[in-house]
Amino acid sequence: MILEQIHKIREEHAKAFNYDLQAICDDLQAESGRQIISKPLKQPRQRKPLAIGGRSE
């Protein structure tokens, strides 16, 4: 019962925005009042090659 109500509300909300995902997300963000902050991606650390047979080269 509850799950059916959730699906109905989600469907109505998506239909109101013509199923435009960006518009739906913008609306949900505006309703929440929270600001989305994105951080730059971290660069992967350089790894040392593994020693083969316990000896370093």
Q: Please tell me the pTM assigned to this model.
A: 0.53
Q: So what's the pLDDT on residue 39?
A: 83
Q: So what's the pLDDT on residue 33?
A: 82
Parts of the chain with a pLDDT under 70: 53-57
SS (H, E, C) the chain: CHHHHHHHHHHHHHHHCCCCHHHHHHHHHHHHCCCCCCCCCCCCCCCCCCCECCECC
Q: Parse the chain into domains and list their residue ranges.
A: 2-32
